[in-house]
Amino acid sequence: MAKVRGAFFLSDRTGITSETLGNMLLTQFAGVQFDRVTIPFINSLSKARDTVARIDAYRERHGEPPLIFSTAVDDEIRAILATADGVFMDFFESFIARLEDTLGVRASHSVGLAHGANPSTYHRRIEAVNFALAHDDGARMDHYAEADLILLAPSRCGKTPTCLYLALQHGLRAANLPLTEEILEAERLPEALTRFRSKLFGLTIDAERLAQIRSERLPNSRYASREQCARELRLAQGIYRRLGAPSLDTTHVSVEEIAAHIIHQMGLKSILR
């Protein structure tokens, strides 16, 4: 049985950064199962003390000291959190002091700058999300000239979540087109897409995995059979080759990694950075 260890992700904001950095480290320890707890918005001394009490209670219940990953910025809050009965890892302290020494400049120690509401960034993000929703599953192909990229794939290969992630995290206008049986049989895309070859990117997946995903939606159907899935994927890969479109197998890849591969291979740039 895998060993279980507590892991707390603490933040004065959403907790996304502490989760991302902490989980990046924890993935290196495959033999350990982690009981993950995220505590966001620790933005007062009283909340910091409550968090310490919660962690100390966890330690008392489970015996071993939990791992604590913190991205809190305020010095007083960080000092309180560091008293928790666990193994405290302060991402802010680990890097800011060294950067201050290197740059010869005192950091502002201001909360929330990493996720600040820059109006232009906010509007671009919302615009990109709206674009992804409006151009999902082959809708409004007459507007593809405005797209930064167009994802192609058979049904249930991850097109929609990838488009939304690219929009939300990178501000990219991502449309997607499902490779329907009609398109696959014809072995060519709709005429409206022929002038956008440079924007096309294909997704594929293992046939067995695709059959499992489709079975959750339509069990015991031709649509979900392994044979049908394998056939669609084979025809899709043939279309990608003929178009010269880059593609990616998403079987064992997270949506974050899919997005990173697409941005790299397509030579795109995140608008939000």
Q: What DSSP string runs through 209-261? A: HHHHHHHHHSTTSTTT-HHHHHHHHHHHHHHHHHHT--EEE-TT--HHHHHHH
Look at residue 124 in the predicted model and tell me its pLDDT. Answer: 86
Residue 267 has a pLDDT of: 93
pTM of the model: 0.68
Nearest to 247 by CA among 121, 162, 183, 143: 162
Q: What is the dihedral of CA 266, 269, 270, 273, to 10 degrees?
A: 160
Q: Which two tokens stand for residue 218?
A: 């339509």
DSSP bridge partners of 139:
none
What pLDDT shows up at residue 131? 93
Rounded distance between C-alpha atoms, residue 230 and residue 224, angstroms: 10
Contact (CB, 8 A) for 136 and 178: no
The H or E element spanning position 204 is strand 200-204
Measured over the CA atoms of residue 20, residue 26, residue 30 and residue 34, the dihedral's sign is: negative
For residues 204 and 218, what is the distance between their CA atoms, to the nearest angstrom? Answer: 20
Residue-wise pLDDT tens for the chain (273 aa)? 557 899 999 998 888 888 888 888 898 888 899 999 999 999 999 999 999 999 999 999 999 999 999 999 888 999 999 999 999 999 887 777 777 788 888 776 665 555 555 566 778 888 999 999 999 998 888 889 999 999 999 999 999 999 999 998 899 999 999 999 999 999 999 988 888 999 999 999 999 999 999 999 999 999 999 999 999 999 999 999 999 999 999 999 989 899 999 999 999 988 866
Show Cβ contacts of residue 153 under 8 Å, excluding neighbours closer than 6 positions. Answer: 159, 176, 178, 179, 202, 203, 204, 205, 236
